[in-house]
Each structure stands twice: as structure tokens, then as C-alpha cells.
Amino acid sequence: MRNKFLGTGEPGYHPLRKIHTILAGLRYAVVYDFSVAWKLAVSLIVLVAAMLARDWVDVVLIIVVTALVLVAEIFNSAIEALCDFVETRHNEKIGIIKDIAAAGVGIAMLAWVLVLGFEVEEMLRNLT
């Protein structure tokens, strides 16, 4: 695909190619990054339970926080990979960059854990 800023690459934009790229990146993240895979699996389990209970607002909330934590995790993985590519030796500045990226994941993960925890607790309370 043509880079709109640099003017390099193949000309033309095709939405199906973009979707293919997105799915390839997501597949790679799920297969090779365990932190993405287990968060997606846990979210899907809670999501299916919320769908079966027909709690549609809860379903949307679970989707939003899951997307938030997955995006944060994928960005963190990309930042770490880029840092490791640029500097293979120990570098304090690279360590700080990685710590900041991990902090972003931590904040997103806190929101994810809170929402899923409340949802599971509410589902269990409705069963009794």
C-alpha cells in the first residue's frame, strides 16, 4: 500500500487489503503473545455468558474494555519489539520507554479486571 506521507510503496487503497492486514496482525498477536491470547479467551467466556443472559449493555461494556486492553497489549508488544530491534544491548532509556508502555497496559488491565469482575459477580448473584 502506498505511504501517504512518504509517497512510497504500491499505489492504491483497497479496504479488503486493510482488513486482511488487520486480521493478520490480530492473528499474530493471539498466536505469539500469550498475554493477548488469555485476555481474549477470558473476555469471550464472560461475553458469551452476558449474551446468554441478554444483558446487552453489559455485552457492549465487555467488548469495549476488552478492545481497550487488547489494543494496549498490542501497542506494548509493538513498542517492545521496536525497542529491541533498535537497541539490542541494555539501555536505560529503552527500559524507561518499555516501562511507560507497560504502565499503559496496566491501566487498561485494571479497567478490564474491574469490569469483568463486576460482570461475573452480577451474573453469579442473578443465578442464586
Catalytic residues: 73
Evaluate whether 50 touches 62 at the Cβ level (below 8 Å). Answer: yes
**What is the C-alpha to C-alpha distance for residues 78 and 96, in angstroms, rounded to an integer?**
15
55-83 b/e (C-beta count within 10 Å ≥ 16 → b): beebbebbeebbebbbebbbebbebeeeb
Cell numbers found for residue 20: 486482511
How many angstroms separate the CA atoms of 84 and 63, rounded? Answer: 31
53 DSSP assignment? T
